[in-house]
Structure 1
Amino acid sequence: MTKKTRISLVAIPDASLSTLHGLYDVLNGMAFLKGLDPSIPESAPFRVEIVGTDPGPLKLASGLPTETHRSIAEAGDSDIVIVPSVVLPPAGWRIGRYPALVAWLRRMHDRGAMICSACSGVFLIAETGLLDRRETTLHWSYAENFRRLYPQVPLRPEKTLLIAGERGQFVSSGASMSWHDLALYLIARQAGPTAAQAMAKFFALQWHRDGLGAYMVFEGRRDHGDAAILEAQDWLATHFSVADPVAEMIRMSGLTERTFSRRFSAATGHAPLAYVQQLRIADAKRRLERTAEPVEEIGWRVGYEDPAFFRRLFKRLTGVTPGHYRRQFQIPAFASGTGARGD
C-alpha cells in the first residue's frame, strides 16, 4: 500500500474560513473522485487534517466555527504543513501571539516537512526566520505591513506562486484565490500533473498563469512626511495624463531635478516616471473594465499617443495585454443587466 502524504492545515483564530475549508475540500477531493478519471489514484494520496494549538471547536475570523482535529502536540510529523490565509485587523499582524505554533513550524521543517502559505498565512511562517532571504508572495494590500515586520524577506506580491529553498520546501501563494494554484501545485507534485489537471477540471479551478499584476490596485505611499512630495502626488492624481508630468512636478516643487527625483523615490518607493506610469495604467484598467472605448483611445486618454507603446507598457506592468485584461475583468452582459445570456 502506498504511504499517504500527511498534510496539516493550521487553524488559528485569525484564519479565513473559505481558504481553510477550500484547501481541505480540494485536497481531500481525490478520495471521492476516484473512478471519475483514470489519472486519479485508486488510493487517495493525502491524509489531510486540521491542527491547532488545541483540539476541538475553534471560532475563525468570520465568526464561524471549525473543528480542529488534533493539537500540534498530538499531530506527530507532517509531510506538508499549510498555513491558510488570515484576516488582518487595521493595525496589521502582531508578532508573538502564537509561540507554540512558530516553534512547531520550525520543528516540522527540521524534520523534512514542506512549509506552505496561502496568501497572508505567510505572516506566521515568517516569524520562524526560515524565510529570511527567500522570496515569498502574499496579497499586495498586506505588502507594506509585511515588509515593515520582515524586511529580510524579499516580497513579490505580483507572483502567483513562489517555490524557495534548496529542496523546494517553502511554497507561498499570492492574493486570495490563488490558493487554487497552491492546491493544484501540491497535487501535481505529489500525485502527478494529470491528476492535477483532472482536479482542476472537476472543481473548475484555474491556474493564474499570467501572475497577479492584473489584479493589483496601485496605491502610492502617502505616509512619508515629505510635504513637497505629497503636494506633487496630490497634483499628479488628477493630472497624470498631461504631457511630461514629471517636468511639471519638478517645476512646481522648486527643487532641482536630481533632488526632486531622489526625494520622490525615497518617499514613495517609485521613481517619478514609474509612479506616473502606474497611475496611468491604473486608470486604463478602470476604463477597460467599465467602458467600451477602443484600446487606442484609452491609451490616448491616459497620456500615450503611441498605441503600440501603450500596449507594451500595459503588458509589462500587468502581465497581460489590454484586450486580455478587458475580457477577463469586464462585467459580462448577463451580470450587468444589458443582456440575458452568459455565453
Structure 2
Amino acid sequence: MPGSSALPASPARPGRHIALLALPDAVVSTLAGIYDVMNAPVLLNAQNLPPFNIEIVGESVGPIELASGVPIQVQRSIDTLDATDIVIVPSVLLRESGWEKDRYPRLVDWLQRMHAGGAVLCSACSGIFLLAETGLFDGKDATVHFGYAQEFAAIYPAVTVHPERVLVISGQHEELVTSGASMTWHDMALYLIARYVGATDAHEVARMFALQWHQDGLTPYITFKGKSDHGDAEIQSAQHWLSTHFSMANPVEEMIKRSKLAERTFKRRFTTATGLAPIAYVQRLRIEDAKRRLERTDASADEISWRVGYEDPAFFRRLFKRTTGLAPGAYRKRFQIPEFARS
C-alpha cells in the first residue's frame, strides 16, 4: 500500500496517519467535515482502536485564521512531520484575483517530500490548485470544482482536468486522489475509508452521517453558460438575441438571416467563438431552461418540451438525458425546490 513505510507521526496513537493540511485559503467547512468523518466512532475496531490517526498540520503550530475568518488550531508543524500515509488538502477559496501561485513554497516542497516517501496525496474541490504546484499531476488526470475548471486549466495546462467527474484516482500507485465540486469531499472520505478499512465500514459511516455517493457524476449540477469573451462582435450579438429566442422554431436559420453573413461563414465563426455548433448551442440553452422549469414548476415533461422548443417529447427526453445524465423525472426528483421553500 502507498505510505505503508511511513514513520508514525504520533506513536502514542495507532492507525494510518492522515495529515489534514490547514492553510489561510482553506474553507473551514470542508476541513472540519473531513476531520469529523475520518474520526467517526463507528470506525473503531474490536480493540477500540481507530484505523486513522488524523492531525491538522500546517506551517506552524497554533491558531490559524481560515478563508472565512474562522480560526482553527494547527496541531502539528510540517517541520516535525517527516512522513505520513495520507495528505488531504481541503477546499480553498479563490478570491477575485484568482489563485496566486508560489505563495506556499514550504508547503509545496513538503508535499513533494511526502509523496516521495509514499504518501497518498488527496485534494477536495479546489485544493488541487495547491497540489498541482508540485508538478506531480502533470500529464495525469484530476478533477476540480466546475466553477474553477477554466481558471485551473489556464494555470496548469499540463494537467488533464475533468470537472464533470466526482472522483479521479491517478498515479502509478493510485496515490493521487482528487474530488470535484464542493461536497464531493464526502465521496473522497468514503473512498479512503473503503480503500483502507473496508466497504462495510464506508457504508456505516455514510449511514451515520447521511452521506451519499454522487453516482450520477456532476454533469447534472453544471449550469451552461455560453462563452462570450471571444471578441467576435457579430457572434456576441447573435448570442444575445438567441438568449431570449431559443425556443422559437428554426432559431439557427433566423440567427443567420439577422447576421447577414453567409451560412457557412456564420456557422464557422459561431463554432470557433463559442466552441459549439449553432444547433448544439441552441440545444444547451433549451435544456438549461428545461432544468429550471423542472426545478421550479410542476409542469409535465411533455409541456416543458413544448415550451422550450421541442414538439417531440420523446426526442426531448433523450436529449435531456444525454446532456444532463438524468431523465427529466429523475432530475426533478433530485433538484426540485421543496414546496415549503418556494416563494
Q: Same fold (TM over 0.5)?
A: yes
Return the alpha-carbon distance in structure 2 between the equivalents of residues 227 and 311 of structure 1. 34
Q: Structure 1 9/262 Cα, relative in aligned 2: closer, same or farther at 3 Å? A: farther
SS of the counterpart of 2:162? Answer: coil
For the 8 Å contact 1:163–1:171, the answer to whether it is kept is yes
Bigger Cα displacement from structure 2, 65-74 vs 127-136 = 127-136
Deviations 1:281-315 (A, max 9, x none): 11111000111100011111111121111111111
In the alignment, is the contact (CA less than 8 A) between 2:43 and 2:51 conserved in 1? no
Question: 1:88, 1:173 → 2: CA distance?
Answer: 17
**1:130-179: per-residue Cα shift (whole Å, max 9, x none)?**
11222211111111211111122122111111111222111111111111
C-alpha separation in 2, matches of 1:40 and 1:207: 27
Q: 1:110 to 1:254 in 2, by over 3 A?
A: farther
Partner amino acid, structure 2, of 1:120:
S
Q: Which residue is equivalent to 2:85? A: 79
Q: Which residue of 1 aligns with 2:190?
A: 184
1:129 and 2:129 correspond: no
Secondary structure of the 1:158 match is coil
Q: Residue 7 of structure 2 aligns with which residue? A: none
Unaligned residue ranges in structure 2 (runs of 5+): 1-10
Q: Is 2:35 the counterpart of 1:24?
A: yes
Q: Equivalents in 1 of 2:339, 2:238: separation in Å? A: 40
CA contact under 8 A between 2:14 and 2:50: conserved in structure 1? Answer: no
Q: Is the 8 A contact 2:14 2:49 kept in 1?
A: no
**CA distance in structure 2 between the partners assigned to 1:260 and 1:167 by the alignment:** 48
**How much has 1:3 moved relative to structure 2?**
5.9
Q: Find the partner of 1:33 among 20, 26, 42.
A: 42
* Aligned ranges 1:248-327 → 2 under 5 Å: 248-327=254-333
Give the C-alpha shift of residue 34 in structure 1: 5.2
Q: 1:102 to 1:12 in 2, by over 3 A?
A: same
Amino acid at match of 1:179: W
Return the match for 1:163 from 149, 160, 169.
Answer: 169
> Which of these residues, 235, 238, 241, is aligned with residue 247 of structure 2?
241
Q: State how far apart, in whole Å, the 2-side matches of 1:90 and 1:320 are.
A: 33
Number of the residue aligned with 1:7: 18
Of the structure 1 ranges 69-78 and 178-187, higher mean CA displacement relative to structure 2 is found in 69-78
SS of structure 1 residue aligned to 2:243: helix
Contact map agreement 1:40 1:198 (CA 8 A) in 2: no
Gaps of 5+ in 1: 338-343
Percent identity between the two aligned chains: 58
Between the aligned partners of 1:11 and 1:275, the Cα distance in structure 2 is 42
Could you tell me which residue of structure 2 aligns to residue 154 of structure 1? 160
TM-score, length basis structure 2 = 0.92
TM-score by length of 1: 0.92
Q: Is the 8 A contact 2:43 2:205 kept in 1?
A: no
Instruction: Work out the number of aligned pairs and report it.
Output: 332
Report the CA distance between 1:97 and its aligned residue.
Answer: 0.6
- For 1:218-276, what per-residue CA distance to the aligned partner results, in whole angstroms no more than 9, with x for missing partners? 11122111111111110111111122322322332233334333322332232322222
Q: Counterpart of 1:341?
A: none
